[in-house]
Amino acid sequence: MAVAASPIDKTDEQKAITDMVRQFADEQILPNAEHFDHEDEFPADIVEQMKELGLFGVTIPEEYGGMGLDLTTYAMIVEELSRGWISISGIVNTHFIGSYLLMKFGTDEQKQKFLPKMATGEIRAAFSLSEPELGSDVQAIKTSAKKTGDGDYEINGQKMWVTNGLMSGLVFVLVKTDPDAEPRHKGMTCFIAEKEPGVSENTGEHAGFTVPPKIKKLGYKGVESTELVFDGYRCPAENILGGEDEGLNKGFSQMMDALEVGRVNVAARGVGIAQRALELALRYSQERKTFGKPIAQHQAIQFKLADMATQVEAARMLTMRAAMLKDAGERSDLEAGMAKLFASEAGRFCVEESFRIHGGYGYSKEYEIERLYRDAPLLLIGEGTSEIQKMVIGKKLLQRHRI
């Protein structure tokens, strides 16, 4: 069931592509999501179709085989994918961040080597900051790289919670390269670590890169979240993002820049799941009767629907505004933080309200809202928790309004 159109004007191109993705979500994602979720199975067929639709190259320039579209259009696409199932948007998300990093900081050789294969989805990218002992406190990273006699870097350490950790062919991984650097963030480098997709024990030129079995999770199933173990893994200096001369010890600021667009992306996922929860609530509340009338006729339920619809619209507008500012080349750090905070909380809120409207059936695996109820909390955590967003927003506000 489609809900009232957003007041955000889409260009003809944006309308065509988001209509196409919505149809894809309705026909291919929604009817199959329950199966893949219950089995915790990678949705390989859906991913193949996404490759054919070009969805792995949305923001990659046309010269590298992508569509060359902007962040705003990408956010609209992500909303539609996430409305279908947030795990599908998760498969694209880290890939999008990887391509952003390459497009903004990569050398010409790195762009030529990776972007064409990324645009088609032939290789997919993961993004790795978190470790077993840290997530919010990125500067505490312990995984390290040391230059060897033959000019390569040897990486040792353990990463945690890597989305697409197994199926990706490239991992943009932040590691410590100068343990004595003060402040600590000046001693970190982003490596483009290559590996064999789908292989847990890499051998040959990728030896020393192990992917342990996927982590069992509450929701966000189908897309794997893994640890990564680097034990003597050799990475050539040419795989330092931006090259050794420009990129060594610049990884922290590169990754933080990428997180800004990543936050818009998570915000769009919050809008998508909130939108779906609203659609389910609108339908169920008109079907289910209590006390002789559809529950939608009880004012308490109408108030819930009103609150949900208002949150969806507000979240969408904040998300689009942050994306549009970024596309216009303006500062959007504050706005991306606000969008991520608000939209992820709106996702959680709308899913919970829709769950309540479903009464006991919301607790049954027969109903889609049960999956959404397990999926929505992830958005409160990834790309910085709500507490961390508030810290970012507060800091940026004070920077912009210094007296």
Ligand X SMILES: Cc1cc2nc3c(=O)[nH]c(=O)nc-3n(C[C@H](O)[C@H](O)[C@H](O)COP(=O)(O)OP(=O)(O)OC[C@H]3O[C@@H](n4cnc5c(N)ncnc54)[C@H](O)[C@@H]3O)c2cc1C
Q: Which member of 225, 226, 254, 344 binds ligand X (CB under 6 A)? A: 225
Q: Which member of 25, 81, 118, 129 binds ligand X (CB under 6 A)? A: 129
Q: Which stretch binds ligand X (CB under 6 A): 56-64, 133-141, 189-197, 339-347?
A: 133-141
Give the 3-state DSSP-derived string for 51-88, with helices as H, strands as E and coil as C. Answer: HHCCCCCCCCCHHHCCCCCCHHHHHHHHHHHHHHCHHH
Buried b (16+ CB within 10 A) or exposed e, 287-325: eeeeeeeebbeeeebeebbeebbebbbebbbbbbbbbbb
Contacts of 401 (CB under 8 A, 6+ apart): none
Q: Which member of 54, 135, 212, 243 binds ligand X (CB under 6 A)? A: 135
Q: Is the peptide bond before 7 cis (omega within 30 degrees of 0)?
A: no
Q: Which member of 107, 110, 130, 189 binds ligand X (CB under 6 A)? A: 130
* Run of H or E residues at 158: strand 153-163
Q: Which member of 36, 64, 96, 127 binds ligand X (CB under 6 A)? A: 127
Q: Does 382 sit near ligand X (CB under 6 A)?
A: yes
Q: How far is the CB of 191 from ligand X (least distance, A)?
A: 14
Q: Which stretch binds ligand X (CB under 6 A): 12-20, 126-134, 235-243, 334-342?
A: 126-134
Q: What tokens appear for 79 in the block? A: 């909303």
* Run of H or E residues at 193: strand 188-194
Q: Which member of 36, 85, 220, 367 binds ligand X (CB under 6 A)? A: 220
Determine whether 154 is an active site residue. no
Give the residue with the Cβ less far from ligand X, 112 or 399. 399
Q: Of 72, 101, 89, 85, nearest to 26 (Cα)?
A: 85
Annotated catalytic residue within 196, 370, 383, 387: 383
Residue closest to ligand X (Cβ): 135
Give the residue with the Cβ less far from ligand X, 131 or 279. 131
Give the residue with the Cβ less far from ligand X, 320 or 351. 351
Give the residue with the Cβ less far from ligand X, 128 or 275. 128
Residues numbered 350-379 forming contacts with ligand X, rule: CB under 6 A: 378
Give the residue with the Cβ less far from ligand X, 50 or 125. 125
* Run of H or E residues at 357: helix 333-357
Q: Which member of 94, 107, 311, 344 binds ligand X (CB under 6 A)? A: 94
Give the residue with the Cβ less far from ligand X, 174 or 350. 174
Q: How far is the CB of 72 from ligand X (least distance, A)?
A: 23
Give CA separation, 395 vs 9, 139, 333, 385, 392, in Å: 32, 17, 10, 15, 5
Contact 208/143 with Cβ under 8 angstroms?
no
Q: Does 62 sit near ligand X (CB under 6 A)?
A: no
Pairing of β 188-194 and β 289-290 = unpaired
DSSP state of 141: -
DSSP state of 10: P
Name the residues annotated as catalytic: 383
Chain positions contacting ligand X, by CB under 6 A: 94, 127-130, 134-136, 161-163, 217, 220, 225, 378, 381-382, 384-385, 387-388
